[in-house]
Amino acid sequence: METIVDERGRVLIPQELRQELGIAEGTVVDLERSEGGIMITPARQKHLSWKELNGIKPRRTAKPEWPTPEEIKSIWG
């Protein structure tokens, strides 16, 4: 099978191959160099958000500090 790389470097994997390999929208794939080419394999089936894909998902590093009732009253007071 042949496909074309578009101006943004994207490659369309034909539907027949996606179905055969279980690659659906949001599937993470591994890219690996091989002799004279690239091998694409499904890594996992978990759907990730754009934030997770770009590595900017915030992670909690400590317990959040909640304002006291007095602090809230002073803001709205």
Assessment of whether the complete model's pTM goes beyond 0.75: no
CATH of the domain at 34: 2.10.260.10
pLDDT at position 23 is 86
Structural domain boundaries, residue 50: 1-57
pLDDT at position 71 is 81
> Is 63 part of a structural domain of the chain?
no
Residue type, 4: I
> Is 26 part of a structural domain of the chain?
yes
CA distances from 48 to 27, 36, 72 (A): 8, 31, 36
State how far the Cα of 44 lies from the Cα of 47, in Å rounded to an integer. 9
The structural domain count of the chain equals 1
> Is 27 part of a structural domain of the chain?
yes
> Is 10 part of a structural domain of the chain?
yes
Per-residue pLDDT tens over the stretch 30-74? 889 989 999 888 886 556 677 666 766 566 666 667 778 888 888
Closest alpha carbon to 21 in 45, 2, 51, 50: 45
